[in-house]
Structure 1
Amino acid sequence: MTDTIKSRIRAIIAEQAMLEPHQIDDDATPEDLGIDSLGLVESIFALEEEFDITIPFNANEPENSDFDISNMATIMRAVERLVAQKAA
């Protein structure tokens, strides 16, 4: 993943969590960051808008979705995959 994409994702999540981007650890879950379900929805909308992608509606069910929101690392990989698919 490019550092630019990763830093943009961190900035979006950090804004929602009211943290600084450097405080966002790859292993952190949305809950660890203090992001509730409404905040998670807002984060997803912000990611969709920032990258012009569509995140599956069932992203909160990793067993049923290709988009895993379990932690920051999985979110970053999923966004990168969607961005790459869009570019293809």
Structure 2
Amino acid sequence: MNVRGQVMEIIAEQALMEPGDVREDMTLEDLGIDSLGLVESIFAIEEAFDISVPFNANDPSESEFDISSVGAIATAVEGLVREQRSG
């Protein structure tokens, strides 16, 4: 499975939804994921891809990691995975 698909699966799991019901244009709020769920999602993503996400849980707006939508999160993770592999 590709990075994007895996990220969407992790987010779907946090939202207690089927991966097929999660769209890239959805926000975490749309999915009912609160701040704790977001942190758990970030940990799961870090573990799944063996990456370190530059995420400030106390102030997500100050983070370089875009959490504005499912698609934005997937794109950010793809970038981190690429950086790590080329690293």
Verify same fold: TM over 0.5: yes
Q: Is the 8 A contact 1:66 1:78 kept in 2?
A: no
Q: Distance in 1 between matches of 2:45 and 2:67?
A: 12
Deviations 1:39-62 (A, max 9, x none): 00000000000001111132711x
- One-letter amino acid of the counterpart of residue 41, structure 2: S
The TM-score with structure 2 as length reference comes to: 0.90
Q: Distance in 1 between matches of 2:55 and 2:25?
A: 23
Alpha-carbon RMSD across the aligned residues, in angstroms, is 1.3
- Matched residue, 1:53: 51
What displacement does 1:32 show? 0.3
The percent identity for this pair of structures is 55
- One-letter amino acid of the counterpart of residue 81, structure 1: G
- One-letter amino acid of the counterpart of residue 51, structure 2: I
Structure 1 segments unaligned to the other structure (5+ residues): none
The TM-score with structure 1 as length reference comes to: 0.89
- Matched residue, 2:36: 38
* Runs of 4+, deviation exceeding 6 Å: none
Between the two structures, name the one with larger relative contact order (CA 8 Å, sep ≥ 6). Answer: 2
**Count of aligned residue pairs for this structure pair:** 84
